[in-house]
Amino acid sequence: MSRKPKLTYFNGRGRMESVRWLLAAAGVEFEEEFLETREQYQKLIKDGALLFQQVPMVEIDGMKMVQTRAILNYIAWKHNLYGKDVKERALIDMYVEATMDLNEIIMHHPLQPPEAKAKHLATIIEKATTRYFPVYEKALKDHGQDFLVGNRFSRADVQLLETILMAEECKPDILSKFPVLQAFKARISNIPTIKKFLQPGSQRKPPLDVKLLPKVLSIFNIGNE
Give the separation between CA 174 and CA 163, rounded to whole angstroms.
12
Q: Tell which CATH classification among 2.60.120.260, 1.20.1050.10, 3.30.70.580, 3.40.47.10 matches the domain 86-190.
A: 1.20.1050.10
Phi, psi angles (nearest 5°) of residue 10: -80, 165
Q: Which CATH superfamily is domain 6-79+199-220 in?
A: Glutaredoxin (3.40.30.10)
Question: To the nearest 10°, the Cα dihedral for 5, 10, 12, 18?
Answer: -40
* Mean pLDDT across the chain: 94
222 pLDDT band, cuts 50/70/90, is low
Tens of pLDDT along 4-21? Answer: 999 999 999 999 999 999
What digits encode the pLDDT tens for the residues 86-109? Answer: 999 999 999 999 999 999 999 989
Task: Check residue 225 and give its pLDDT.
Answer: 44
Q: What is the pTM of this model?
A: 0.94
Segment 130-138 shows an average pLDDT of 97
